Amino acid sequence: MLTLSARRCILSQLTSPLKSTRGHCDTAPPDVLDRVRTLLQLCADRYYISPGESNSELFRRGWSCSYGPLGVELKRNLLQQWWHSVTGSRAWVFGVNTLSSSPVRAAGGARVVQSEPFQQILDQSELSREQLIQKLNRLLLSSPSVRTSLLQGALEQFVPSLEMVNKKLPFGLAESGPCFQPSDGCSAEVTQTSLVWFCSPRSSSQWLDHWARHRLKWWRKFALSPSDFSSAEVPENELEEKTSRGVKILYKFPWGLESLETLWCRGDAELLQVHKGIRSKLQTRDGRKSVPHVVSVSGNMDRGAMAYLSNSLQELRREDGRKRLQQRKVLKLHPVLAPVKVALDVGKGATVEMRQVRTLF
């Protein structure tokens, strides 16, 4: 099967040349490029990611890649800590699990297309350019869509969740899972985390500030250099549609700042759009008959794993007995995130005592 961004990945190639996939890291100074190459090579050598230039590029861009055994454990630990932090920080934050693919989502976005009918259309050489585009359009629109974020699923879960909390605010819905985000015309898979917080209209801005502080503190908690993590208000001209405020949690990579999490004040427009015609079911018992406002917190855990690996990289230098300078590259990950908690060097082989200890674990 092919995962496509509707009307963008395939159709754009019929009407325009391919876009370059080179990122702004490629124009960085030589010393920055050397550090990036060192990190990516170390990640491959130490079994965090699978070897290969294309796989390393996926990881550098903050997309899901082929992880090695240690990378899988690091990412699992990171997601586990995120889950405990979000669901344990407030009394009323509940986990949900929504479908990653749906036949009823909006016409746009990413879709999963069966390769066989797709190839059959391309093989019809008698079709004109316009006919080919029309047939591809129909195939795309008849194919199931895949989610580009976790927001939609949480909004759909709002009404039953509101009944569960006896129509009282505030409360939140948390989820993590794969999403497909259009980039350079095609979709890339990303492991996303989401907290959708429902609150009264008059307190939404204060809740945005609360969650921004909470999230920045969390990212810094496991960092070797906490100052590399920061937050910034989204400029007014960069706000998403239907949002009134935004805050980004950023990490300072060698090539520049990248967003790890984005928080938005989304108002009530999207909630009303999802639940058309049932406004009365959306109203809460907060002293006024009003529709809650939404504060969303969306994170990229693939880029988060890359951030912690970059933050933990250290090059240690020391002289040996012959006054020769030796250099070692080490990853000083926080113990909570580290994929291996304890390692023992038993020299040439395990002793009888060590073999006995091993059987206990």
pLDDT per position as a tens digit, 173-182: 999 999 988 7
17: preceding bond cis by omega (within 30 degrees): no
Residue 81: Cβ within 10 Å count: 16
CATH number of 27-99+148-310: 3.30.930.10
C-alpha of 268 from chain center: 24
Name the pairing type of β-strands 293-300 and 313-319: unpaired
Residue 343: Cβ within 10 Å count: 5
In the numeric block, the tokens 């985390």 are attached to 193
Report, as an integer, the average pLDDT of 304-329: 83
Contacts of 221 (CB under 8 A, 6+ apart): 334
Query: How far, in Å, CA of 127 to CA of 333, rounded?
Result: 57
Mean pLDDT of the chain: 84
Query: How far, in Å, CA of 292 to CA of 357, rounded?
Result: 56
The yes-or-no verdict on residue 9 having pLDDT over 70 is: no
Share in percent of the chain as helix, strand, coil (round to 5): 40, 25, 35
79: tokens are: 């997601």
Report, as an integer, the average pLDDT of 339-349: 71
Query: How far, in Å, CA of 240 to CA of 247, rounded?
Result: 11
H/E run at residue 343? none
Contacts of 34 (CB under 8 A, 6+ apart): none
**pLDDT for the residue 51:** 92
Q: Which amino acid is at 80?
A: Q
Residue 145: Cβ within 10 Å count: 22
**pLDDT for the residue 195:** 98
Query: How far, in Å, CA of 180 to CA of 162, rounded?
Result: 28
Residue among 156, 70, 142 nearest 113 (CA)? 142
Output Rg (C-alpha) for the chain, integer angstroms: 24
Identify the residue with better confidence: 31 or 230: 230
Name the pairing type of β-strands 101-102 and 145-146: antiparallel
Q: Which range is least confidently modeled, 100-109, 152-161, 179-188, 230-239?
A: 100-109
The yes-or-no verdict on residue 80 having pLDDT over 90 is: yes
Spell out the domain ranges in the chain. 27-99+148-310
DSSP one-letter string for 240-295:
PTT-SEEEEEEEEETTEEEEEEEEEEEESHHHHHHTTT-HHHH--SSSS--PPEEE
Name the pairing type of β-strands 313-319 and 325-331: antiparallel
Report, as an integer, the average pLDDT of 293-301: 97
pLDDT in tens, 33-50: 888 898 999 999 999 999
Residue among 171, 186, 162, 155 nearest 63 (CA)? 186
The yes-or-no verdict on residue 350 having pLDDT over 70 is: no
Query: pTM (2 decimals)?
Result: 0.81
3 state SS of 90: coil
The yes-or-no verdict on residue 307 having pLDDT over 50 is: yes
